[in-house]
Amino acid sequence: SAVISQKPSRDICQRGTSLTIQCQVDSQVTMMFWYRQQPGQSLTLIATANQGSEATYESGFVIDKFPISRPNLTFSTLTVSNMSPEDSSIYLCSVGQGARNTEAFFGQGTRLTVV
């Protein structure tokens, strides 16, 4: 499977600030996905990041709050903007691997605490 590296692995941030999370994959992939996991909850898809086009956001998530970049086929960033304590979550990126890229694999996640 692909090696998916996320940075930072964890951070503690002040409310009102922004944090950019990086996701690097060791092979070229068409789609990258960003998920959020709030404390004690399941994972929820934030957006799909395609190279060369704007990200596609799921219901309840907006570009102003979670801007995404996808400059090439191996890298993406997710920014959490104007943070509040409700943004404290684990953020994970995911890519497809295997035959026809059908199986999803995840980075190790970024554990964000907003104080």
Partner 1 sequence: GIQVEQSPPDLILQEGANSTLRCNFSDSVNNLQWFHQNPWGQLINLFYIPSGTKQNGRLSATTVATERYSLLYISSSQTTDSGVYFCAVAVKGGATNKLIFGTGTLLAVQP
98 lies in the binding site for partner 1 (CB under 8 A)? yes
Q: Which is nearer to partner 1, 75 or 106 (CB)?
A: 106
Distances (CA, A) of 51 to 13, 69, 90, 115: 29, 8, 24, 33
Of 16 and 111, nearer to partner 1 (C-beta) is 111
Binds partner 1 by CB under 8 A, chosen from 92, 93, 112, 114:
92
| Binding to partner 1 in span 39-68, by CB under 8 A | 42-45, 48
Pick the closer one to partner 1 by CB: 68 or 92: 92
